[in-house]
Structure formats: structure tokens, C-alpha cells
Structure 1
Amino acid sequence: MRLPIRVHRARSGPEEIRVIRPASPPTRTVLVDHDRHLHVYLDQAGARLLGGLWLLAARSARSLIHLPLRGGPRPAAHGEPGRRLDLVLLHHSRQFRPSRWRRVRAKLDTGLPQTASLPEAARLGEVAVDHAARHHRENRDRFRQRIHAETLFLIGSAPVFRETAGRFLDVAEHGPRHASTHPGRPGLRTAFHSTDGTLADGREIHVEYCAEWEPSGSTG
């Protein structure tokens, strides 16, 4: 998998902060705060992109992976979408404080284009997942959540990013067919549940494929 990206930098005192964004942000992907849970609505391209960014986060311990999502259209079947958020994927070893994000975001340069080479989707089946270990108290391979400056920070380790990337790639592969064979029903879904050992804190994250979207500019 080859993923076009832009690599941005910002100075914060003596420190240079590296931020990676997709070269072309998704046009039909939104992250919505529904109070009791967080919900990602996306199409096939958005699901494929998020899977790629998850894999990129697994190997980019010194970078912030930023996905601007607040400006896109809304899925046609879901009415008022609630509060929209951007997304940052962050390796826990980076120890970046989300409270700094607003200032860093404002200082980012225009970025340089690059292409990231990532594992093919078929190889993700080779990733060994110890499901029992996820529930051990000392397990550090779980996501932590913070919200700051209209942005959800999903903070985790390389293993948890790598092991869960396939959830998005499965939606990308099977979502369109599910929509065509189940018209009028909710789209194919996956989730990060409070009981599956992937979340250390925060709310569940639901991910749903959506085939129909409002015209661009119809953000409610």
C-alpha cells in the first residue's frame, strides 16, 4: 500500500514537531461526538485511508498523524451529526500534551509531499493478536483518549495501532457490497468496544460505512 502524505513541521521553543497529514483529506469521512460514544462515518476511500494512517501511526513514534475531518459533508441517513472533531493519532512514547495542539497547529508550515510505503492488507492477517493479554491490568497496548481544540487524540502503542488497522480495511473491502445487498439498512460497522481490550479509557468508538452522503457544503 502506497499512501501519499504531506509532512509538516512547526517550531515550539527549541523543539521541532513533525505532523503528517494525508496529501488529500477524505471527502466523505466525519468523526462525531455523540456524547455517549464517538462515531466515525465513512465511505470506502475514507475507510482505506484510515486503515493506512493506523499503520503509519504504528511505525511513526516521533510524529503526530493529523486528519482534518470537520469540514466534510454529512451522511444522508443520520440527520444532525452532533459535534464534529478532527483526529490525531499519537504514539504514547511521544509524550505530546494535547493542550499544546492549538498553538502547534497554527504554526505548521505548508509541508512537503512524500509517499509512505505500508504493508498490504493481506499481510495484516499475519499479525498475531493475544486477545487474552489485552485484558491484563498491566497491558499498555490500549488506546487512551483526549479531546482538545476540537480534536480527538487517540494515543496508543505500535502494536495496538497495527493490530486494529484491519478493522478499517475490512470495512473498505466489504462495506460497498453490504450496502448494495442490504438497501435501507445501516451500513457495515465495526467498533472499538469498552470490553474488547483496546480502550484504556474514554468512550467507545463506532465505525460505520455510509453509501449515501449529502452534497458537499451541507454540514447542517
Structure 2
Amino acid sequence: MRLRLRRFRPRTGPHEHRVVQPLHPLRHASLRDPDPIGHLLADHDGLNRLAGLFSFAAYSRHTVVHIPLRDGVPPDEGMGELVDLVLVHHSYGLRPSQWPGLRRRLTHGTPLTVRTDEARTARDAAAWQARAHRADRRDELRHTTHARTFFLFGSRDVFAEAADSFAYAAGNGPLHKRVQQGDLALVSAIPGLRQPPGGGHPFEVLICFKPYPPYAHFKRPGR
């Protein structure tokens, strides 16, 4: 996939960071803060681009991927605060408390075009799936919300598996019944989220397809 991004080089003290954002906003995508269940709603374009952004994050351990989602078209469904999304490798060392200062410095970006490798992403996603049910598995997505931003910290394989989940949603969401009337379709979920100790309701981010209005523009594939 070809991704058009904007790259920033903000500094905090002696450290220079590399932050990228989509060049054009995901206008019809939104994320509600998981507490403990969050909903990520997007149209086909949004889900497809999110798949690419997660794939890019999987192989960019020295880059912070910032996906602004609060400024798009407000969703007419769901509850909870709308939040942005940040993807970063666990080895990067970014602290969520640093983010507001970094975000204020994202002012002079330069265009960047990258390509993702879907075959490599699928191989690494399969490697994560092969380990997913092992008792000693440690490859999880750590998460927290700070400054109206939902952070995901992970490794190559778990980000690749998440990319696969978004690609699946982009391909299969439009096939669900009643989406042409504007109903959302629950298609998949972000995998590998770390669960809180002590049980209780599992922490989830559900991935949903929803076309944008007016719904007459949308036709289910094959119709």
C-alpha cells in the first residue's frame, strides 16, 4: 500500500523525535476511549488506511505514528470521549506524559510517501497468531489514555496482526447486511491488548465498518 504521510522532527531537550501523521485526515474514522470497551468506527477508506498505518508502525521502531481522529466527522453512535491514536514501539521509550509537549511542536512537517509490504505483514501476523495462545506469551499491546490520546505500545508482530485485523475489516465490513442503511457492522477487534489483573470485563477495542452519509452513495460489493 502507498501511504502519504507528513513527517515531523520535534525536539525535547537534546532528543530529536520522528513523528508521522497521515497527510490527509481520516475524515470518517473515530475512536472512543475504551473504558473498558472502545469502538473504532470507520468507512472503507479509513479502515484500509489504518491497516497501512499499523503495518508502517510495525516496521518503524524509531518512529511515533500519530493518527488524529478527534477532528473528523463526529460519529452519531457510541458513548465515551473521542480520542486520537498513537502507535509506538515499546522499545522507543515514549512516556505518555511527554506527548502534549511533542504534539505542540508538530507544526512544520514535510511530505513523505512510503509503501507497506502486505506479504511481510501477513507473515509476521501469522507468527504472532502461532504464539497467541501460549501460556508464556509476552507479546502484547500495552495501552493507556492520556491527553485525549489512546496510546498503543507493542512490537513488530503484534502491530502486524492489528494491521491484518483492519485489512480484514476493510474487506469484509462492506459485505454485511444493512450497512447500506447506515448500520454499523462489528467486524473485528484490535488483538493482543493487555488485560488488567484480577479478571473482570476484558479490555477491548472493537473495529466497526460504517459508511458515511448520505447512505445512498454506498453500494454493497457485488450488488
* TM-score normalised according to structure 1 size: 0.84
Tell me, yes or no, if the aligned pair for 2:69 and 2:84 is still in contact at 8 Å: yes
Which amino acid in 1 is paired with 2:21? Answer: R
Counterparts of 1:57 and 1:95, CA distance in 2: 15
Instruction: Give distance in 2, aligned partners of 1:155 and 1:34.
Output: 15
> Secondary structure of 1:60's match?
coil
Check whether the contact 1:58–1:162 (CA below 8 A) recurs between aligned residues: yes
Structure 1 residues 9-48: aligned runs within 5 Å:
9-33=9-33, 35-48=35-48
Equivalent residue for 1:199, pick from 178, 193, 217:
193
Look up the SS of the partner of 1:83 in the other structure.
coil
Corresponding residue to 2:187 among 189, 195, 202: 189
Helix, strand or coil: the match of 1:200? coil
Residue 211 (structure 2) aligns with: 211
Structure 2 partner of 1:103: 101
Number of the residue aligned with 1:147: 145
Residues 13, 163 of structure 1: alpha-carbon distance in 2 compared, 3 angstrom cutoff: same
> Does 1:74 pair with 2:74?
yes
> Structure 2: which 5+ runs fail to align?
197-202, 215-223
Unaligned runs of 5+ in 1: 215-220
- C-alpha deviation, 1:181, in angstroms: 7.1
Where do residues 118-129 of structure 1 align in structure 2 (5 Å cutoff)?
118-120=116-118, 124-127=121-124, 128-129=126-127
RMSD value over aligned CA atoms?
Answer: 2.3
TM-score, normalised relative to structure 2: 0.83
**Structure 2 residue aligned with 1:89, among 83, 87, 90?**
87
Shift of 1:175: 1.6
- C-alpha separation between the residues in 2 aligned to 1:12 and 1:130? 34
Cα shift readout 1:9-54 (whole Å, capped 9, x = no counterpart): 1110000011010111100000002533111010001001110010
What is the aligned partner in structure 1 of residue 2 from structure 2? 2
Letter in 2 for 1:165: A
Q: Indicate if the aligned counterparts of 1:66 and 1:87 stay in contact, CA closer than 8 A.
A: yes
Instruction: Identify which of structures 1 and 2 has the higher relative contact order when contacts are C-alpha pairs closer than 8 Å and 6+ apart.
Output: 1
In structure 1, the residue corresponding to 2:3 is in which secondary structure?
A: strand
Name 2:115's counterpart in structure 1.
117
Following the alignment from structure 1 to structure 2, what is the Cα–Cα distance between the partners of residues 157 and 123? 15
Shift of 1:139: 2.5
**Among 168, 171, 174, the residue aligned to 2:166:** 168
Shift of 1:117: 0.9
Count of matched residue positions in the alignment of Structure 1 and Structure 2 = 207
Q: Does 2:157 align with 1:159?
A: yes
Identity %: 38
